[in-house]
Amino acid sequence: MKKKSITASELDQKFEENEDLTDFLMIETATKPGLKPRRVGVDFPEWMVHELDKAAQKLGITRQSLIKVFIAEKLKESS
């Protein structure tokens, strides 16, 4: 189904009036800003990689996922 077109000011007005905006949005292609992956290289000592692998295996996830979870938890704690 082709979406209707309206101006930004019309969209703003409809939003302010709490009208349904779904006919004007392409929800299937919408993305959240700031979620684009960005590669970062980090060197860990061998013992740490071994411990990360053991913890990841225990949880049934990849090492990369475990590192992301650990970092996300620490970032939430610090904010």
Give 2's DSSP letter. Answer: P
The whole-angstrom separation of Cα 26 and Cα 5 is 11
| Residue ranges of the chain that CATH labels 1.10.1220 | 34-79
Residue 72 neighbours by CB distance under 10 Å: 10
**pTM beyond 0.75:** no
| Residue stretches of the chain with pLDDT short of 70 | 1-3
pLDDT at site 2: 56
Tell me which CATH code domain 34-79 carries: 1.10.1220
pLDDT of residue 22: 86
The CA distance from 38 to 32, in Å, is: 15
Q: Could you tell me if 4 and 24 are in contact, meaning their C-beta atoms sit under 8 angstroms apart? A: yes
Dihedral sign for Cα 66, 50, 45, 41, please: negative
